[in-house]
Structure 1
């Protein structure tokens, strides 16, 4: 990538903090090591180093939307502060091209004693706008913030939501080349968030570069093209947003499993780790009894292709093991395989599974996502069990079904097609539910891209726009 094509370039970035046990050690570190260097002695250290960020490198193209994900304490905010220049790196370099607008912390740059109106002028002028430019755009800023008479009240009287409204309204009106947003929008109400995301999408269409941090995976998937996953200040994964979010879910699952295995040892004992897969045969196993090497047959070629497919499937799945999703298929009302549906059709999803252990308390579920990565719907056998337990419907509880080791079984999930025209992905999962209410869940097997189907319209018979059919009717 040439230097003219990027907006942000991060190379070998790291930030180290010195941690002192007592204030006295801080004073010693300031005085004694310089004296020791002057007399030619090895300097002593009275602190320990904490690397909040270490060896991070990436480039972001102009007009690209880039996401940063990770748990609290993973280094996300530190990385953004380094990029915006509010703190200096210990090692490495950061280059940015163009005007940067950053929404990092609530009220950063605001004087709590000033009114909202005064802070608009102060903040905008600090960001490079003239007084006349602020006058020209003030009405747009006030309309976007939509805080009414509070605009002339001191900022210290604002709620966190009002504060972020005003801060975001100022940032997006300076016409930035780079917009950096760090989780601040999470405090806004649903209507304001919708307005913010609409504004962000408008900026992206105008060629603004977006650096976006959020714990909301669907927002990251929808807004960004690429992403990076951080853990403990280091890069875990970087690539397409969908792949990085899958790695993020795997990371969260692993950490959650480690946590609950300590709290729920009885349940953990019921769901042991799966037996290791048999080791692949070595090349020597293809040798003939005379010691020669047999030529690769069509059968071995098919096995190689199957192994490649299996490797892809392994990358798209995770879980503690014990019970496994073998395959997922979509069928029509006549039980024939079908991958294309129309509004009003019946969609039948068959999830084929195998249990490697004796267990109960199982939930088999699916999640449906659109081609754009937006979650449309999620549902499982436990949802139906909860209705039975609440007395809303009759039937047996799948949650109480006793599974035996080696038992293969399947679950049918059925619904009427009310989806708009699109390509949809089915994710399948099997979870152990310690309680029949989703409050004590452990993922045994999760499978992305388990199946796909498409919905179309018979436009001359039945047509609607959007992602779902609300079965609207007109009356006059």
Structure 2
């Protein structure tokens, strides 16, 4: 691939910060090492090193949507600041090819004493646009921000939502070559977020490169094709977005697992299978297999929309246990979460008088094997889908406190097709709505053209 096809190149980037215990140490660091060198003594540092990033490398192609995920403090924002040029790396290099627009910290790039209108022109100038060019873009920016008369008020009087509206309006309406977004959309309301995502998708269609950071894994999955997972400043995984997100979820699960150690005593008996690369969990209850079947109970992977479908989850308990929930999730090939359902969802709908019928109340003994089947009509739209399954211990009967025992990605795949001229619909699913016709006879008044009136 030629360098002209690359929008962003990050090569062996590291960033070190110096942490001082007290202000006087900073002054000592400025003076003492020089004096010790003059005296031919070994210099001494008065700070502690903190490496926010270590040897990060990746490339983003032109027109590509690339994601960055990781917990708070993993180095995401530091990396974005280095890419945009507001921070310099301690080691390594970054190069960008094209005009860069960035949505980083809330209100960054805005002068709080200037009005919204003045900040629009100021940001345009920083992006390299002339006053005349910004005059042409201003109406579109104002319409997208939709903050009304506040546009002529000082930005310091804005709410956080108004600030992010104006910032996003400026950065997206100037149609940059590279758009960098760091959690900025999380501040806006749901309708504005939807508006922003539509605009981002339009920019991508027009060849814009997107570098996207968010804690919302489903948004990252649906928007981006490749991603990097940062963990304590290192690139823990880099590649296709679904694989990177799996690594990220597995890491979060391990963190959650550690939090449960003081709540329960784990059994050491049983032989647990740790080899599966697309699953994780303590495996106190283990998923042995998942099968998708047709109405006649035969294994099947291709269905017509509306066909009966059965998802069978085969499990074994390695401990005596109660309060389980077996559930599944279906994702489209675009990574959109279509539906989730589990035994706990059904238990929540049962009255307390049916406690004996609740799966949540059933006790399983060590070594006991059991299967859970989910059956129903498959009213999904034509697409390829992934089935993910999980068995979890629910400490509350309403998804209030959950411990994942075994999670499995890519437990199954199904393809849904439509019967042309028989059952056709567009979109994610058929809601099952049906039309009814209500007719009413209405008296029609006679028009008297000669009198020029209606009788």
Where does 1:6-405 land on structure 2 (aligned, <5 Å)? 6-262=6-262, 264=263, 268-269=264-265, 271-272=266-267, 275=270, 314-389=276-351, 396-405=357-366
Tell me the secondary structure at the aligned position of residue 52 of structure 2: strand
Number of residue-to-residue matches in the alignment: 437
Distance 1:442 1:389, change over 3 A: farther
More helix by share: 1
Tell me the secondary structure at the aligned position of residue 261 of structure 1: coil
1:467 aligns with 2:428: yes
TM-score normalized with structure 1 length? 0.88
Deviation >3 Å, runs of 4+: 271-278, 472-476
Deviation string 1:68-93 (CA, Å, 9 cap, x unpaired) is 00000100000000110101111111
Provide the rounded CA distance (Å) in 1 between the counterparts of 2:209 and 2:294. Answer: 44
In structure 1, the gaps of 5 or more residues are: 279-309
Whether the 8 Å contact between 1:323 and 1:353 is mirrored in structure 2 is yes
Match of 2:417 among 456, 462, 466: 456
Whether the 8 Å contact between 2:305 and 2:382 is mirrored in structure 1 is no
Whether the 8 Å contact between 2:387 and 2:412 is mirrored in structure 1 is yes
Provide the rounded CA distance (Å) in 2 between the counterparts of 1:274 and 1:323. Answer: 12
Tell me the secondary structure at the aligned position of residue 351 of structure 1: strand
After superposition, the CA RMSD in angstroms is: 1.8
Partner residue of 1:301? none
Partner residue of 2:444? none
Whether the 8 Å contact between 1:69 and 1:215 is mirrored in structure 2 is yes
Residue 182 of structure 1, CA deviation = 0.4
Provide the rounded CA distance (Å) in 2 between the counterparts of 1:332 and 1:241. Answer: 31
Partner residue of 2:453? none
Whether the 8 Å contact between 1:360 and 1:402 is mirrored in structure 2 is yes
Whether the 8 Å contact between 2:355 and 2:361 is mirrored in structure 1 is no
Deviation string 1:173-192 (CA, Å, 9 cap, x unpaired) is 22211110001001111111
Deviation string 1:242-267 (CA, Å, 9 cap, x unpaired) is 000000000000001112223x2xxx
Residue 389 of structure 1, CA deviation = 4.6
Whether the 8 Å contact between 1:274 and 1:322 is mirrored in structure 2 is no
Tell me the secondary structure at the aligned position of residue 108 of structure 2: coil
Provide the rounded CA distance (Å) in 2 between the counterparts of 1:120 and 1:255. Answer: 43
Partner residue of 1:305? none
TM-score normalized with structure 2 length? 0.92
Deviation string 1:392-412 (CA, Å, 9 cap, x unpaired) is x78611111111111110011
In structure 2, the gaps of 5 or more residues are: 439-455
Distance 1:35 1:152, change over 3 A: same
Residue 322 of structure 1, CA deviation = 1.0
Whether the 8 Å contact between 1:272 and 1:321 is mirrored in structure 2 is no
Residue 386 of structure 1, CA deviation = 1.6
Distance 1:394 1:459, change over 3 A: farther
Deviation string 1:203-253 (CA, Å, 9 cap, x unpaired) is 111221111000011111111111110111111111100000000000000
Provide the rounded CA distance (Å) in 1 between the counterparts of 2:201 and 2:355. Answer: 46
Distance 1:39 1:85, change over 3 A: same
Whether the 8 Å contact between 2:383 and 2:416 is mirrored in structure 1 is yes
Provide the rounded CA distance (Å) in 1 between the counterparts of 2:55 and 2:268. Answer: 34
Partner residue of 2:451? none
Whether the 8 Å contact between 2:272 and 2:283 is mirrored in structure 1 is no
Provide the rounded CA distance (Å) in 1 between the counterparts of 2:219 and 2:272. Answer: 37
Whether the 8 Å contact between 1:164 and 1:188 is mirrored in structure 2 is yes
1:434 aligns with 2:395: yes
Provide the rounded CA distance (Å) in 2 between the counterparts of 1:458 and 1:395. Answer: 42
Deviation string 1:274-325 (CA, Å, 9 cap, x unpaired) is 74569xxxxxxxxxxxxxxxxxxxxxxxxxxxxxxx96xx111111111111
Residue 273 of structure 1, CA deviation = 5.8
